[in-house]
Structure 1
Amino acid sequence: MNTVANDARAAGARVGLSGDTITINGGSPLTGRIEVKGAKNLVTKAMVAALLGESPSELRDVPDISDVRVVKGLLEVHGVKVEHNVSEGILLLDPAGVESAHMTDIDAHAGSSRIPILFCGPLLHRLGEAFIPDLGGCRIGDRPIDYHLEVLGSFGAVIEKLPTGIRMTAPDGLTGTKISLPYPSVGATEQVLLTAVRAKGKTELSGAAIEPEIMDLINIMQKMGAIISVDTDRVIRIEGVDKLQGYTHRALFDRNEAASWASAALATGGDVFVGGAQQAEMLTFLNIFRKVGGAFEIHDDGIRFYHPGGELKPVVVETDVHPGFMTDWQQPLVVALTKANGVSIVHETVYEQRFGFVDALVKMGANIQLHSECLGGHPCRFGQRNFLHSAVISGPTELHGADIEVPDLRGGFSHLIAALTAQGTSRVSNVGIISRGYGDFITKLRQLGADFVIEGE
């Protein structure tokens, strides 16, 4: 069995799936209400930030997803005491007993996750050393860790590449530095923040990512005692401090999950209230959703997304860093665009191989063509590199049931949407991968009236 399948089966077992395959009878609208909790892309980083504190931290609105379980395991092998109240969505993290972990323990808990690279800065501050195994993650394009290593090296870390992974030491401690990112990478920005807050002196980061999850991480660190300023030109300045305390924080809602359920409502002709979703962080998505022909209502406790009837309209979309249209939003939206009357174009500028999921949609009857040119907008950094990073979706087309295999997190949820939209029966395998970022998604599907069976139940 390949690594993706192993990860899916393990993830499925952790969230209560007795098998990693579900059979879906499609063609019915999703209707009802579901709740979203804290953002996967914030919660896991906030858990790592707890390593920096000298007192316990409390994180609320934590989703029950496998990525949280992975980070919990990694923290525990490093001596952090973690209490997870799953039903209440509360994590208590006490770093008082932090110690070095064995390479085999780290490797066993990390699996295919890329989160261990972000442990390095905090561990170098706490212990003077860190080790990370080979890293995995969703296979959606080039996500090298070389720049992470360069960043850590610029702070003074000594890096040794071993056959089993990478060992780092900081014999003289870490010192603030000046860093300019060639691209506003979320991961690299997180690395700098988690390392700079306790480094000696000042750090200046230009070309930083400013996603809402990054800003919420900064909010957490400020609560801990960090001094961080963010300028309008994507420059973040950090003044290192000697010590940090624990935090108490309610995580920002998961806007990626909210957008995914919104696209599912639109594609199936349904009506879904996403409790916990907020307008400000979804502004760009809401504009595109309305242009396609979807409707929404903003409420204090969430957003209602629904298909108001009539034809859906084609759009031209380019993914981009915040405040642009998120790359994680395009995959679920593409399924809805197969129902639009006309030709839509989606130009992916963040991950060069994020259209691998469309093979399954084409198998199900979608008319989608992939191109290496930058279509529908401005040239991007992938334009001359022969990556199929622009999609032309012609519709409307009626999808039919098929046997499909989940390739990655967002693509996997898009396959679920396609199966729910399709006429007939679909068999979707490797669904456990979806639990990496969608808490309790099986229960939510049931709440919305989806017709499916989990194989093995």
Structure 2
Amino acid sequence: MTVNDVLTVHGGTPLHGRIRVRGAKNLVSKAMVAALLGDAPSRLYDVPRIRDVEVVRGLLELHGVRVSDGAEDGELVLDPANVESATTDEINVHAGSSRIPILFCGPLLHRLGHAFIPDLGGCHIGPRPIDFHIQALRQFGAVVDKAPEGMHLTAPTGLHGTKLELPFPSVGATEQVLLTAVLAEGVTELRNAAVEPEIIDLICVLQKMGAIIKVHTDRVIEIQGVPRLGGYTHRPIPDRIEAASWAAAALATGGDIEVYGAEQVDMMTFLNVFRSVGGAYEVTDMRPPREGSAGTEGKIRFWHPGGELQAVALETDVHPGFMTDWQQPLVVALTQARGLSIVHETVYEQRLGYTEALNSMGATIQVYRDCLGGTPCRFGRRDFKHSAVIAGPSKLHAADLVIPDLRAGFSHLIAALAAEGTSRVYGVDLINRGYEDFEAKLAALGAHAERA
């Protein structure tokens, strides 16, 4: 953290205006990795300028992929014609800044016959072990050698299709299997797979490249390996996490924000809860261009209609449940709702630590080890505080805040905007991992915030 990594926020002003979200962070970075699998260039549109994209771009360039900006703003061209090995030291430069390197394993094993996994970084919201990634790669035929600096993988007899079942519908593990299976010899069957919109969009990318992937009922994905893949041209789904974050900011500050690029279909669960709390929204569908008409971009307008917000009980879950990345921003708005709200976090076991900072600002939030407000989850008999009760409404006041991770960081930012007085938010550069130009967007919405 540097001296300049501090944002001074003068709170108490409702946010009003319009902003735009681009391609989903959780798809764009994986689509960039998928370009490694092709024998022709790929073209990706609507790529946000965020830190995670910079990390993946750097890793791809280390491995010989030529990454260039296209003619359109947010367009990337990825040419994998000259894939090559990178040194351990070069790869380790990126260790700690992203968990993406593990997803390079399958593509690099196919292209080079070997791969390296450095110590993994990412947000500290639970251990998110890589055991299944390693186990899956071994089942495909990879040989894994552990070393102090990470893990070295080889595939002396190539990679072969296999049958796998996830203990939990993990997004990362599902991505690993997809990126490995598409060029593996034979058929791979993955049970209990994640089916998030970003996963389906990644499947669309791979299918454009020539993959054969069937999504069956009951979370079963079947991948028939093919001998080669080409490039793709793809415009990703919009970032539903960023859209929901700005929606929560509108609700918490009593504001009115139009989020261009946001789409209803992948936000239906969030929109139901948003309306139940007392928020209002209006969907404007995208209109394609017609003869004599330029067309219009879709948007969702989110606003606080006045009156009291109402407490709710919700559980996070894998898709199509309430997304875990939606809960932190929304909890800030729930501090302003009348009554007791209950949040049961079932995806990550250590994702409620950010509530301590909200309590220091005047919120009343108690966390529990029990499964509250719903059915028991896999954390229920373990020593994890994974349920929260939020009593409101609470008047928030300014405080000095230190950002612990990406999504909690944005919730802290929302709290500072909703609070009376001037807050200092430390570590705001972490927000750049997943929110493009967030300071410019704050300014466009009338927020009073500046670098310290």
Native 8 Å contact 2:209 2:231 kept in 1: yes
Would you say how many aligned residue pairs link Structure 1 and Structure 2?
A: 440
Distance 1:387 1:179 in 2: 28
CA shift digits 1:266-323 (9 cap, x unpaired): 0000000000000000000000000000000000211000000100000001000000
Distance, in Å, in 1 between the alignment partners of 2:76 and 2:274 is 34
Aligned partner of 2:69 among 84, 87, 104: 84
Taking a change above 3 Å as real, the CA distance of residues 124 and 348 of structure 1, as seen in their structure-2 partners, is same
Match of 1:26 in 2: 11
Deviation at 1:109, TM superposition (A): 2.8
1:372 and 2:369 equivalent? yes
Candidates 294, 301, 312, aligned match of 1:315: 312
Query: What is aligned with 2:330?
Result: 333
- Contact kept? 1:74, 1:110, Cα under 8 Å: no
Structure 1 window deviating more from structure 2 (86-95 vs 101-110): it is: 86-95
Q: Residue 110 of structure 1: CA displacement?
A: 3.8
- Code of the residue aligned with 2:23 in structure 1: it is G
Residue 188 of structure 2: aligned partner: 203
Q: Are 2:226 and 1:241 aligned?
A: yes
Q: Secondary structure at the match of 1:305?
A: strand
Shift of 1:86: 9.7
Cα distance between partner residues in 1 of 2:95 and 2:369? 34
CA contact under 8 A between 1:184 and 1:321: conserved in structure 2? Answer: yes
CA–CA distance in structure 2, aligned partners of residues 39 and 431 of structure 1:
20
Equivalent position amino acid for 1:102 in 2 = T
Q: What SS class does the counterpart of residue 135 from structure 1 fall into?
A: coil
Give the superposition deviation at 1:213: 0.1
TM-score, normalised to structure 1's length? 0.95
Describe the SS at the equivalent of 2:309: coil
Deviations 1:330-370 (A, max 9, x none): 00000000000100000000000001111110000000000
Tell me whether 1:405 sits opposite 2:402 in the alignment: yes
Q: Does 1:418 align with 2:403?
A: no
Distance 1:85 1:220 in 2: 18
Match of 2:207 among 206, 219, 222: 222
**What is the Cα-based RMSD across aligned positions, in Å?**
1.0
The answer to whether residue 39 in structure 2 is matched with residue 54 in structure 1 is yes
Superposition misfits of 4+ residues, deviation over 4 angstroms: none
3-state SS of 1:58 partner: strand
Task: Give, in angstroms, the shift of residue 121 of structure 1.
Answer: 0.1
1:263 is the counterpart of 2:260? no
Gaps spanning 5+ residues in structure 2: where? Answer: 286-297
2:294 paired residue number:
none
SS of 2:124 mapped into structure 1: coil
Match in the other structure for 1:388: 385
- Output the TM-score relative to the length of structure 2: 0.96
Hey, what does 2:444 align to over in structure 1?
447
Paired position in structure 2 for 1:181: 166
**1:132 Cα deviation from its structure 2 partner:** 1.3
Cα distance in 1, alignment partners of residues 261 and 270 from structure 2: 16
8 Å Cα contact 1:70/1:110 also seen in 2? no
Residues 135-189 of structure 1: CA distance to partner in whole angstroms, max 9, x if unpaired?
1110001201111000000000000000111000001100000000010000000
For 1:354, the equivalent position in structure 2 comes to 351
Shift of 1:386: 1.6
Q: What is the letter of the counterpart of residue 159 of structure 1?
A: V
Distance across 2 between alignment mates of 1:340 and 1:172: 59
Q: Which amino acid aligns with 2:231?
A: G
2-structure distance, mates of 1:86, 1:65: 19
Amino acid in structure 2 at the alignment position of 1:347: H
Secondary structure (helix, strand or coil) at the match of 1:365 reads: coil
User: Given the alignment of the two structures, is residue 159 of structure 1 paired with residue 144 of structure 2, yes or no?
Assistant: yes
Matches of 1:251 and 1:275 in 2, distance apart?
15
Any idea what SS the aligned residue of 2:389 has? strand
1:311 aligned partner, one-letter code:
E
Q: Is the 8 A contact 2:213 2:224 kept in 1?
A: yes
Percent identity between the aligned chains?
A: 68
Tell me the CA shift for residue 232 of structure 1: 1.6
CA distance in 1, matches of 2:192, 2:199: 13
Per the TM alignment, residue 112 of structure 1 is displaced from its structure 2 partner at its CA by: 2.5
Is 2:69 the partner of 1:72?
A: no
Letter of the aligned partner of 1:348 in structure 2?
E
Structure 1: runs of 5+ lacking an equivalent: 10-17
Assess if the C-alpha contact under 8 Å between 1:29 and 1:268 holds in 2.
yes
Residues 408 and 305 of structure 1: is their aligned pair in 2 closer, same or farther, counting only changes over 3 Å?
same
CA contact (8 A) 2:15 2:257 kept: yes
Structure-2 separation of matches of 1:398 and 1:86: 48
